[in-house]
Amino acid sequence: MPKHIAIVPAAGSGARFGAEVPKQYLQIDGKPLIYYALSALCACPAISCVWVVLSPEDAHWTSFDWGCLGDKLRVAYVGGETRADSVLGGLTAAATEAAGDDWVLVHDAARPCLPAALLQRLIDELAGDAVGGILALPVADTLKRADAEGRIRATEPRDGLWQAQTPQMFRFALLREALTQASGVTDEAGAVEAMGLRPRLVRGDSTNLKVTFPADLALAGKILAEVTK
Protein backbone atom coordinates (compact mmCIF):
# COMPACT_ATOMS: atom_id res chain seq x y z
CA MET A 1 0.00 0.00 0.00
CA PRO A 2 1.35 3.46 -0.86
CA LYS A 3 2.03 5.77 2.10
CA HIS A 4 0.70 9.32 2.44
CA ILE A 5 3.31 12.00 3.16
CA ALA A 6 2.47 15.65 3.81
CA ILE A 7 4.64 18.60 2.82
CA VAL A 8 3.93 22.05 4.25
CA PRO A 9 5.79 24.84 2.45
CA ALA A 10 6.39 27.57 5.05
CA ALA A 11 9.25 29.58 3.59
CA GLY A 12 7.24 32.55 2.35
CA SER A 13 7.65 36.08 3.73
CA GLY A 14 3.96 37.05 3.82
CA ALA A 15 4.55 40.24 1.82
CA ARG A 16 0.86 40.87 1.13
CA PHE A 17 0.02 40.49 4.81
CA GLY A 18 2.64 43.08 5.67
CA ALA A 19 3.38 42.04 9.27
CA GLU A 20 6.77 42.27 11.02
CA VAL A 21 7.09 38.47 11.01
CA PRO A 22 6.14 36.01 8.25
CA LYS A 23 2.38 35.41 8.54
CA GLN A 24 2.79 31.70 9.42
CA TYR A 25 4.20 32.83 12.79
CA LEU A 26 1.38 35.26 13.67
CA GLN A 27 -0.66 33.89 16.53
CA ILE A 28 -4.23 32.67 16.86
CA ASP A 29 -5.27 31.80 20.42
CA GLY A 30 -1.64 31.65 21.58
CA LYS A 31 -0.39 29.36 18.82
CA PRO A 32 1.38 30.26 15.57
CA LEU A 33 -0.79 30.07 12.46
CA ILE A 34 1.27 27.20 11.02
CA TYR A 35 0.50 25.06 14.10
CA TYR A 36 -3.08 24.57 12.92
CA ALA A 37 -2.14 23.24 9.45
CA LEU A 38 0.48 20.91 10.96
CA SER A 39 -1.91 19.75 13.64
CA ALA A 40 -4.64 18.85 11.09
CA LEU A 41 -2.15 16.80 9.05
CA CYS A 42 -0.44 15.10 12.03
CA ALA A 43 -3.86 14.09 13.40
CA CYS A 44 -4.84 12.25 10.19
CA PRO A 45 -4.26 8.50 10.70
CA ALA A 46 -3.62 7.97 6.96
CA ILE A 47 -0.65 10.38 6.94
CA SER A 48 2.63 8.83 8.08
CA CYS A 49 4.88 11.90 8.24
CA VAL A 50 4.63 15.66 7.85
CA TRP A 51 7.54 17.63 6.44
CA VAL A 52 7.62 21.35 7.16
CA VAL A 53 9.79 23.34 4.75
CA LEU A 54 11.36 26.44 6.30
CA SER A 55 13.52 29.18 4.89
CA PRO A 56 17.25 28.58 5.56
CA GLU A 57 17.10 31.98 7.33
CA ASP A 58 14.06 31.12 9.46
CA ALA A 59 14.49 32.69 12.91
CA HIS A 60 11.10 31.80 14.44
CA TRP A 61 10.49 28.04 14.27
CA THR A 62 12.65 27.19 17.29
CA SER A 63 10.83 29.72 19.52
CA PHE A 64 7.93 27.29 19.85
CA ASP A 65 7.66 23.84 21.40
CA TRP A 66 6.34 21.49 18.72
CA GLY A 67 6.41 18.36 20.91
CA CYS A 68 2.60 18.30 21.17
CA LEU A 69 2.39 17.38 17.47
CA GLY A 70 3.99 13.99 18.09
CA ASP A 71 6.61 12.07 16.14
CA LYS A 72 5.27 12.50 12.59
CA LEU A 73 6.81 15.96 12.25
CA ARG A 74 10.02 16.47 10.19
CA VAL A 75 11.75 19.83 9.62
CA ALA A 76 13.85 20.87 6.61
CA TYR A 77 15.44 24.31 6.21
CA VAL A 78 15.40 24.05 2.42
CA GLY A 79 12.86 26.67 1.31
CA GLY A 80 13.56 28.49 -1.95
CA GLU A 81 12.70 31.62 -3.94
CA THR A 82 9.30 30.34 -5.01
CA ARG A 83 6.71 28.03 -3.52
CA ALA A 84 7.58 25.44 -6.19
CA ASP A 85 11.26 25.60 -5.12
CA SER A 86 10.25 25.10 -1.49
CA VAL A 87 8.04 22.10 -2.28
CA LEU A 88 10.77 20.58 -4.44
CA GLY A 89 13.20 21.04 -1.53
CA GLY A 90 10.74 19.25 0.71
CA LEU A 91 10.40 16.37 -1.75
CA THR A 92 14.18 15.99 -1.88
CA ALA A 93 14.37 15.98 1.93
CA ALA A 94 11.58 13.40 2.15
CA ALA A 95 13.01 11.17 -0.59
CA THR A 96 14.87 8.91 1.83
CA GLU A 97 11.60 7.64 3.31
CA ALA A 98 9.36 7.81 0.22
CA ALA A 99 8.67 5.47 -2.68
CA GLY A 100 7.81 6.76 -6.14
CA ASP A 101 4.16 5.74 -5.90
CA ASP A 102 3.61 7.11 -2.38
CA TRP A 103 1.13 9.98 -2.22
CA VAL A 104 2.29 13.49 -1.32
CA LEU A 105 -0.18 16.01 0.08
CA VAL A 106 1.10 19.59 -0.22
CA HIS A 107 -0.71 21.97 2.13
CA ASP A 108 -0.17 25.70 2.71
CA ALA A 109 1.19 26.69 6.13
CA ALA A 110 -1.20 29.63 5.94
CA ARG A 111 -4.36 27.49 5.58
CA PRO A 112 -5.25 26.75 9.22
CA CYS A 113 -8.90 25.57 9.09
CA LEU A 114 -8.69 22.28 7.17
CA PRO A 115 -11.49 20.05 8.48
CA ALA A 116 -10.49 16.43 9.22
CA ALA A 117 -13.43 15.10 7.19
CA LEU A 118 -12.41 17.15 4.14
CA LEU A 119 -8.82 15.91 4.32
CA GLN A 120 -10.11 12.33 4.52
CA ARG A 121 -12.47 12.94 1.57
CA LEU A 122 -9.54 14.09 -0.59
CA ILE A 123 -7.53 10.99 0.35
CA ASP A 124 -10.47 8.64 -0.25
CA GLU A 125 -11.64 10.16 -3.55
CA LEU A 126 -8.16 10.07 -5.07
CA ALA A 127 -7.16 6.63 -3.78
CA GLY A 128 -7.60 4.93 -7.15
CA ASP A 129 -6.81 7.93 -9.34
CA ALA A 130 -4.09 7.70 -11.96
CA VAL A 131 -3.09 11.40 -11.72
CA GLY A 132 -4.13 12.85 -8.33
CA GLY A 133 -5.96 16.07 -7.65
CA ILE A 134 -6.72 19.01 -5.44
CA LEU A 135 -9.35 20.50 -3.16
CA ALA A 136 -11.09 23.34 -4.96
CA LEU A 137 -14.29 25.37 -4.90
CA PRO A 138 -16.51 26.37 -7.82
CA VAL A 139 -16.30 30.15 -8.32
CA ALA A 140 -19.43 31.71 -6.83
CA ASP A 141 -19.14 35.40 -7.66
CA THR A 142 -19.55 37.13 -11.02
CA LEU A 143 -16.12 37.78 -12.51
CA LYS A 144 -15.05 41.17 -13.91
CA ARG A 145 -11.97 41.92 -16.00
CA ALA A 146 -10.43 45.32 -15.16
CA ASP A 147 -8.81 47.83 -17.49
CA ALA A 148 -5.77 49.94 -16.60
CA GLU A 149 -7.98 52.63 -14.98
CA GLY A 150 -9.67 50.19 -12.62
CA ARG A 151 -12.91 50.18 -14.61
CA ILE A 152 -14.70 47.07 -15.83
CA ARG A 153 -13.68 46.04 -19.33
CA ALA A 154 -15.67 42.82 -19.48
CA THR A 155 -17.74 40.32 -17.53
CA GLU A 156 -16.12 36.90 -17.75
CA PRO A 157 -18.15 33.69 -17.79
CA ARG A 158 -17.53 31.73 -14.59
CA ASP A 159 -18.85 28.41 -15.94
CA GLY A 160 -16.40 25.64 -15.19
CA LEU A 161 -14.11 27.89 -13.11
CA TRP A 162 -12.84 26.66 -9.74
CA GLN A 163 -10.63 28.24 -7.07
CA ALA A 164 -7.71 26.00 -6.14
CA GLN A 165 -7.18 25.19 -2.47
CA THR A 166 -4.80 22.81 -0.72
CA PRO A 167 -4.00 20.02 0.04
CA GLN A 168 -2.96 19.09 -3.49
CA MET A 169 -2.25 15.36 -3.71
CA PHE A 170 -0.02 13.64 -6.25
CA ARG A 171 2.28 10.61 -6.48
CA PHE A 172 5.78 11.37 -5.17
CA ALA A 173 7.70 10.61 -8.39
CA LEU A 174 5.21 12.37 -10.67
CA LEU A 175 5.19 15.53 -8.53
CA ARG A 176 8.96 15.62 -8.31
CA GLU A 177 9.31 15.30 -12.07
CA ALA A 178 6.58 17.89 -12.70
CA LEU A 179 8.12 20.48 -10.35
CA THR A 180 11.61 19.86 -11.72
CA GLN A 181 10.43 20.63 -15.24
CA ALA A 182 7.89 23.38 -14.54
CA SER A 183 8.56 27.09 -14.54
CA GLY A 184 6.27 29.88 -13.37
CA VAL A 185 3.63 27.65 -11.81
CA THR A 186 1.84 28.85 -8.67
CA ASP A 187 0.61 25.49 -7.44
CA GLU A 188 1.50 21.78 -7.71
CA ALA A 189 -1.45 21.05 -10.01
CA GLY A 190 -0.13 23.66 -12.45
CA ALA A 191 3.13 21.73 -12.73
CA VAL A 192 1.27 18.44 -13.28
CA GLU A 193 -1.01 20.09 -15.87
CA ALA A 194 2.10 21.29 -17.73
CA MET A 195 2.93 17.61 -18.27
CA GLY A 196 -0.33 17.22 -20.17
CA LEU A 197 -2.17 15.52 -17.28
CA ARG A 198 -5.58 16.48 -15.86
CA PRO A 199 -5.71 16.50 -12.04
CA ARG A 200 -9.07 15.79 -10.44
CA LEU A 201 -11.11 18.53 -8.73
CA VAL A 202 -12.41 17.45 -5.32
CA ARG A 203 -14.96 19.86 -3.81
CA GLY A 204 -13.42 21.75 -0.89
CA ASP A 205 -15.00 24.04 1.67
CA SER A 206 -15.01 27.83 2.06
CA THR A 207 -13.78 27.44 5.66
CA ASN A 208 -10.49 26.08 4.27
CA LEU A 209 -9.35 29.63 3.53
CA LYS A 210 -5.79 30.85 3.04
CA VAL A 211 -4.59 33.69 5.24
CA THR A 212 -3.26 36.29 2.82
CA PHE A 213 -4.41 39.65 4.25
CA PRO A 214 -5.02 40.78 7.88
CA ALA A 215 -8.81 40.32 7.65
CA ASP A 216 -8.26 36.64 6.77
CA LEU A 217 -6.43 36.07 10.08
CA ALA A 218 -9.37 37.42 12.06
CA LEU A 219 -11.80 35.23 10.09
CA ALA A 220 -9.62 32.13 10.55
CA GLY A 221 -9.54 32.82 14.30
CA LYS A 222 -13.36 32.89 14.38
CA ILE A 223 -13.66 29.66 12.38
CA LEU A 224 -11.17 27.88 14.66
CA ALA A 225 -12.95 29.14 17.78
CA GLU A 226 -16.25 27.78 16.40
CA VAL A 227 -14.70 24.36 15.66
CA THR A 228 -13.19 23.98 19.12
CA LYS A 229 -16.32 25.22 21.00
Question: Does the protein bind ligand CTP through residue 48 (CB under 6 A)?
Answer: no
Residue closer to Mg ion, measured from CB, 12 or 132? 12
Is residue 220 close enough to count as binding ligand CTP by CB under 6 A? no
- Under the criterion CB under 6 A, does residue 189 sit at the interface with ligand CTP? no
Question: In the bound complex, what is the minimum distance in angstroms from residue 108's beta carbon to ligand CTP?
Answer: 4
Instruction: Give the binding range for ligand CTP (CB under 6 A) out of 65-73, 103-111, 124-132, 220-228.
Output: 103-111
Q: Which stretch binds ligand CTP (CB under 6 A): 16-24, 42-50, 157-165, 195-203?
A: 16-24
CA distance 86 to 88: 5
Q: Does 61 bind ligand CTP (CB under 6 A)?
A: no
Q: Which does 53 bind (CB under 5 to 8 A by kind): Mg ion, ligand CTP, none?
A: ligand CTP
The residue at minimum Cβ distance from Mg ion is 12
Residues 5-34 binding Mg ion (CB under 5 A) are: 12
Q: Which residues contact 19 (CB under 8 A, 6 or more apart)?
A: 26, 214
Backbone φ, ψ for residue 27 (5° rounding): -105, 145
147 contacts ligand CTP (rule: CB under 6 A): no
Secondary structure string (H, E, C) spanning the chain: CCCEEEEEEECCCCCCCCCCCCHHHCEECCEEHHHHHHHHHHCCCCEEEEEEEECCCCCCHHHCCCHHHHHHEEEECCCCCCHHHHHHHHHHHHHHHCCCCCEEEECCCCCCCCCHHHHHHHHHHHCCCCCEEEEEEECCCCEEEECCCCCEEEEECCCCCEEEEEEEEEEHHHHHHHHHHCCCCCCHHHHHHCCCCCCEEEECCCCCCCCCCHHHHHHHHHHHHHHCC
Site string for ligand CTP, 69-98 (x = CB under 6 A): ----------xxxxx--x------------
Which residues between 109 and 138 bind ligand CTP (CB under 6 A)?
A: 109-110
199 binds, among Mg ion, ligand CTP, none (CB under 5 to 8 A by kind): none
Q: Does 13 bind ligand CTP (CB under 6 A)?
A: yes
| Chain contacts with ligand CTP (rule: CB under 6 A) | 9-17, 24, 53, 79-83, 86, 108-110, 210, 212
